[in-house]
Structure 1
């Protein structure tokens, strides 16, 4: 589930404005691709209700990233680092599903937000107006 962790953390960074969060996902020695590297059109057009759930889940995922970043950085070796990342990934997935989205929906919305500036603006507006 490392791939979904990268998507979660990217989403959290987008919504919460945490520029340092993607560093947690870069455990394989490769840098995360830039947001602009995704040229295709968004595959989905999420509803406002889905975006609201996405924002709520992203805020929680951001908290998990903040919680686990020091644990990952303090891991003495790659095996323990992967164990911590897997634990964070599982916690993030549980939080996403508790907010009413599947992991696939969360990732698809994240991808769509990265590709569509108008959709990104809608998410930012929802995030700035506070969750209900």
Structure 2
């Protein structure tokens, strides 16, 4: 469940990367619990940050899709199934990007704490979207 919480936090964060950054602040408490990423904040390569940006865009779409499904799900069991399915899709998106989930989460936490790093990742996300013609 901890992995899900971190990924869902990252999904909220990635939604902030694409639009308003207000979403990035929603899970500050969860990020504070996992503060070891702060020490690693400057250790991410441009390639890792680009993979994070690419995966974040996919996760933002997954998050939007599953947020709707979660709101429509009735009962705790149905909601848990939706959460698990969303988590599986998010993990798959991260792994397909070439990052490990822990690295993805560490980058997500680091950019919450480092506005300059967040701007770098935002520029990467915008640049890759233009390159793909999206």
2:44 alignment partner, one of 40, 43, 46: 46
Larger deviation: 86-95 or 119-128? 119-128
Are 1:103 and 2:101 an aligned pair?
Answer: yes
What's the RMSD between the two structures over aligned residues?
2.6
Unaligned runs of 5+ in 2: none
Q: Answer whether contact 2:111 2:117 (CA < 8 A) is retained.
A: yes
**Which whole-Å CA distance do the structure 2 matches of 1:63 and 1:4 have between them?**
17
Report the Cα offset of residue 130 of structure 1: 2.3
Shift of 1:90: 0.5
Deviations 1:51-90 (A, max 9, x none): 1000000000011011111110001111100110110001
Unpaired segments of 5 or more residues in structure 1? 23-31
The two structures have a TM-score, normalised by structure 2, of: 0.78
Task: Please give the TM-score of this superposition, normalised by the length of structure 1.
Answer: 0.79
Match of 1:8 in 2: 10
- Alpha-carbon shift at residue 8 of structure 1 (Å): 2.6
Give the match's secondary structure for 2:39.
coil
Between Structure 1 and Structure 2, how many residues are aligned?
Answer: 122
Residue 130 (structure 1) aligns with: 128
